[in-house]
Chains A and B, each alone.
Chain A
Amino acid sequence: MLRYLLSRLISSAALLLGVLFLVFMLLHLTGDPVSLMVSRYASPEDIEALREELGFNRPLLVQFGDFLSGAFQGDFGSSFRYRQPAMDLVLQRIPATIELASVALLMAILMGVTIGILGGSNPNTILDSIARGIGLLGQTIPTFWLGLILIIIFSLRLGWFPSFGRETFTFLGLTLPDQSIVLPAFALSLFTTGQLARFTRSAVMEVMNEDYVTTARSKGLKKKRIYFKYILKNSAIPLISIIGVQFSYLLSGSIYIETIFSWPGLGSLLAEAVGTRDFFLVQATAFFTSLVVIGLHLLTDLVYVLVDPRIRYR
């Protein structure tokens, strides 16, 4: 168990390093940021001096090494634009993103799994067709388009929800988002809803044809018990990895939604940082996002082991 954990940790760290290297290189392929920072009338000598001062004239590998050693100590450099440590900016934005992703995941699980179970347990009925339709729709509607439609209908027409921003209230000492989260979370969740509906449906259908379900029926067990202890429990196992992957997607993939709804999370921060070529801020955001994605995958694998008795570490 410990050895398995250790090897997974090492490979995860290597993966993280690889991602950071890629981001770093791609970023520098677009040119160095100094040209953006100086006025149009600066002389080549001035630019060169600033480059020297900020260390952008050194070989890329050295700069990458610098970045890494800084990162190890929690120093990701400062945002050019905000003139603040990049990591501080990232940390400020994290709660909003986690909120949005969690609410979206919850919505997706509630809707997607329910739809999938209903469809999968009644194959080739109208219910099943509806489930398949929703599954397909969720995966084909472009998120940003959906976001705009939601804004037009539910905030401009009906006025039920605000069209942008994040409002909070305090409850039992916790800062929680109010109804301003509903539209962005729903828009964000729809793709995952479709994905979960599809996977749940096929998992349930597959499990219903398993021999052990026939055994359960041959034992004269109550329908409810067969449903929960045999069909749903076995269908849930393949879903765990999908939910894990989807959560990391929701955490990292909310750029469009956060931008459309002006949700002050990591996604909108990243969009802004890329737009202004705020190098250190992009790197800090990328670092954090990769860390979360890779960490969630690791966690998913571990949860698997707890839930499925057939899996054991070697």
Chain B
Amino acid sequence: MKPLLSVRNLSTRFDTFDGSVYAVNDVSFDLKAGETLAVVGESGSGKSVTMLSLLGLLPRSTWVTGSAIFAPEGFELDLLSVSKAELNSLRGNKISIIFQDALRSLNPVMTVGEQITESLITHHQYNKNGAHKRAVELLEMVGIAQPDKRYYAYPHMFSGGMRQRAMIAIAISCTPDILIADEPTTALDVTIQAQIVELTRRLQQDLGIAVIWITHDLGVVAGLADRVMVMYGGTGVEIAPVDLLYENPGHPYTAGLLGAIPSIAGSSADRLVSIEGAPPDLFQEPRHCQFAWRCRYVFDRCWKEKPPGYIISPGQVVKCFYDGREKTPRVEE
């Protein structure tokens, strides 16, 4: 079956006063309808920029190349080459995104309710009354008590957890095919985090939404994801089904990350712990493996070429030359 979203060779470069920043380099991944793909990687590895590139939400003087074929039922188009107007008609409608800091992501001078109605009115031709009714239903769906009263509340009157629920209500208002969640629980305390994760999982099952969940929390990954993409230095260095990744990590960086998880599952300590060495310099266009500086298994080839993707077991793709195990060249679709 055709994937819902198929990203190929996505690269993003920012031109700044200090020079070009190569934030995303050659990222390729697929997302199937209804599944959950977790994206993990240390700070600055390009997780957010990858998603913002897909949605065309980056500032001017940003260069994005590659392709991202979005193929829900009925049509198919490339997110990176459609017109601005077409992309705008997909955003908040077929593809939604929620961010880490819900307080700063909501308009402080507009009621939460009105902010939920906006996408409905823009994309689904709701009238004011209909949108109001639907917004109250959505508030109820995301577990906010007294939704008809809370409709009129402003964002600052909500708790952190409620604000993230409101963001989710906005994001699912048009029943999108894809929901991108960029570390939506990082700013919340542990019990609330679990509630938000649970809520997302429930909505995803009820509505059949595919979710891309960016996180630092490997506990969340294990509990929520079908597949995982590990990012390093702007590249997806490994993609694998979640159990395969934990059992048999294919990339030295992944192995390092997993080795660093303490065994008490669910504790707030099981976040990514950084691995020895400095993160890569994004001001240089990558010409070799970005992880070479920090890799225990590095050899001369790693400094000469960028590793292509190798399929090392069904569904597990690794960008690494290390031949301590059997590898076959990646099969092109």
Residues of A at the B interface (CB closer than 8 Å) are: 210-212, 214-222, 225, 229-230, 233-234, 237, 307-310
Contact = CB atoms under 8 A, between A and B. Distances in A.
B107 A221 contact: no
Interface string B94-138: 001101010011111110000000110011000000000000000
A219 B108 contact: no
A4 B105 CA distance: 31
Nearest to A215: B105
Contacts of A216: 107, 118
A212 B119 contact: no
Interface stretch (B84-92, B217-225, B226-234, B254-262): B84-92
A219 B92 contact: yes
A309 B107 contact: no
A309 B108 CA distance: 8
Contact of A212 (B57, B96, B108): B108
The 7 closest A-B CB pairs, nearest first, are: A219-B92, A220-B91, A220-B92, A211-B104, A309-B154, A211-B105, A215-B105
B119 A219 contact: yes
B91 A212 contact: no
A221 B106 contact: no
B96 A218 contact: yes
A212 B163 CA distance: 13
Interface residues of B, number: 27
23 contacts: A211-B105, A212-B105, A212-B108, A214-B99, A214-B105, A215-B99, A215-B105, A216-B107, A218-B97, A219-B92, A219-B119, A220-B88, A220-B89, A220-B91, A220-B119, A220-B123, A230-B107, A233-B107, A233-B109, A234-B108, A234-B109, A308-B109, A309-B156
A221 B121 CA distance: 9
A66 B57 CA distance: 69
A310 to B, nearest CB: 5
Contacts of A219: 91-92, 96, 118-119, 122, 170
A73 to B, nearest CB: 46
Given A210-B104, A218-B57, A229-B107, A310 B156 contact: yes
Contacts of B106: 212, 215
B50 interface: no
Nearest to B51: A218
Contact of B99 (A211, A221, A309): A211
Contact of A221 (B101, B104, B118): B118
B90 A220 contact: yes
A237 B109 CA distance: 10
Nearest to A213: B107
A218 B55 contact: yes
Interface in B141-189: 154, 156, 167, 170
B36 interface: no
Contacts of B118: 216, 219, 221, 225
Indicate the member of B93, B105, B106, B119 with the most A CB atoms within 10 Å. Answer: B105
A217 B109 CA distance: 17
A136 B91 CA distance: 40
Q: Is the interface of A mostly helix, strand, loop or mixed?
A: helix
Scoring A210, A215, A216, A307 by chain B CB atoms within 10 A of each residue's CB, the highest score goes to A215
A210 B103 CA distance: 11
A211 B187 CA distance: 15
Given A221-B122, A225-B118, A234-B108, A211 B101 contact: yes
Contacts of B104: 210-212
A309 B154 CA distance: 7
A229 B96 contact: no
Q: Which of the listed residues A220, A230, A233 has the most CB atoms from chain B within 10 Å of its own CB?
A: A220
Contact of B92 (A210, A221, A229): A221
B108 A310 contact: yes
A181 to B, nearest CB: 35
Contacts of B123: 220
A221 B122 CA distance: 6
A208 to B, nearest CB: 10
Contacts of A237: 109
Contacts of A222: 122
Nearest to A229: B110
Of residues B109, B122, B154, which shows the largest number of chain A Cβ atoms within 10 Å of its Cβ?
B109
A230 B108 CA distance: 9
Contacts of B105: 211-212, 214-215
Contacts of B122: 219-222, 225
B153 to A, nearest CB: 9
A124 B94 CA distance: 34
Contacts of B110: 229, 233
Contacts of A308: 109
Contacts of A211: 99, 101, 104-105
A216 B55 CA distance: 12
A278 to B, nearest CB: 49
Given A210-B104, A309-B156, 5 more contacts: A211-B105, A218-B97, A219-B96, A219-B119, A220-B90
Nearest to B58: A214
A314 B92 CA distance: 38
Contacts of A218: 55, 57, 91-92, 96-97
Nearest to B119: A219
A310 B110 CA distance: 11
B92 A234 contact: no
Contacts of A230: 107
Contact of A214 (B57, B90, B119): B57
Nearest to B84: A223
